[in-house]
Amino acid sequence: MDKNLHYNITKDYKKNDIVYHTKFTTINFRILENERPNWKIFDELLKVGNYECQKAETFYKGRKWTAYFTKAIPINDGPYKFSGLPGLIVKIFSEDNSHQFSLIQLKRIQNSKIQNIKNERTITNTQYQEYLKNYRPTISDIAAVSVDSNGTSSYMMKDGNVININISRETLEKYRNNQDKLGEIIMKELAGSALNPIELDE
């Protein structure tokens, strides 16, 4: 599993299978995805990077998504679980802009193999959404913290997930001598970020 993500997506094109692999707390989950996006394609064009792209929209997993795909790359696939357009999805974002995927690089991989994740528990998507709904991070779940030059705090959780939050420098300074209050603010922000998954209840 990619160390920079808390999930992996594997796609078997021959079987038309999409499988979501993730680690939740200490449990490895495997979820077979049966639902596919239904797209509405528009005539609107947009240059994304070096590609002439066409607009499409879908309502998928509780969110409205806008995608731009290019017929210059005749692969009907895209990031995450998105697929089914007549060209590669180069960019896609949710209506509220809280989630976005953009193509960075195309690379041919020789002899690629799907990593075998040990001790995976197979569950349904409904069961997984219930796990997420009931999840509340605690101080003891945090393994490490880093802060970049923009003031974004990255919290590495013990399950491998990374949650990014923004707390103003003014707030940090204000509660510098009140660690209990600062901890309360941080946990509230962490909970809010953790409760903004890509997929919502429909």
pLDDT, tens only, 146-178:
777 666 777 776 655 667 777 777 777 777 787
Q: How far apart are CA 72 and CA 29, in angstroms?
A: 36
- Total structural domains in the chain? 3
Structural element, H or E, at residue 91: strand 88-94
Burial of 9 (0-12, 13-18, 19+ CB in 10 A): middle
Q: Which residue has tokens 């919502």? A: 200
Q: What is the pLDDT of residue 191?
A: 63
Strand 162-166 with 152-157, pairing: antiparallel
Calculate mean pLDDT across residues 53-65: 97
Which residue, 198, 202, 201, 192, is CA-closest to 7? 198
In the chain, the largest separation of any two C-alpha atoms, in whole Å, equals 59
CB atoms within 10 A of CB 63: 18
> DSSP H helical segments within 28-68, as ranges?
none
pLDDT, tens only, 72-99:
999 999 999 999 999 999 999 999 888 8
Q: Is 30 part of a structural domain of the chain?
A: yes
Domain that holds residue 87: 40-102
User: Is there a single domain that holds both residue 66 and residue 90?
Assistant: yes
User: Is there a single domain that holds both residue 119 and residue 27?
Assistant: yes
Structure tokens at 57: 């929209």
Q: Is 125 part of a structural domain of the chain?
A: yes
- pLDDT greater at residue 147 or residue 49: 49
Which residue, 33, 20, 5, 30, is CA-closest to 159? 5
Q: Give the CA distances from residue 44 to residues 5, 40, 66, 76, 87, in Å, rounded to whole numbers and listed in that order.
A: 32, 12, 12, 19, 15
User: Is there a single domain that holds both residue 154 and residue 188?
Assistant: yes
- pLDDT greater at residue 83 or residue 129: 83
Q: Alpha-carbon Rg of the chain, whole angstroms?
A: 19
Q: Is 201 part of a structural domain of the chain?
A: no
User: Is there a single domain that holds both residue 44 and residue 89?
Assistant: yes
The DSSP symbol for 192 reads H
DSSP SS3 for 185 = helix
Question: Which neighbouring-strand residues pair with 122?
Answer: 30
Q: What is the pLDDT of residue 3?
A: 47
pTM (whole model) above 0.95: no
User: Is there a single domain that holds both residue 124 and residue 27?
Assistant: yes
Strand 27-33 with 17-24, pairing: antiparallel
User: Is there a single domain that holds both residue 186 and residue 96?
Assistant: no
Which residue, 157, 165, 160, is CA-closest to 190? 165
- pLDDT greater at residue 65 or residue 174: 65
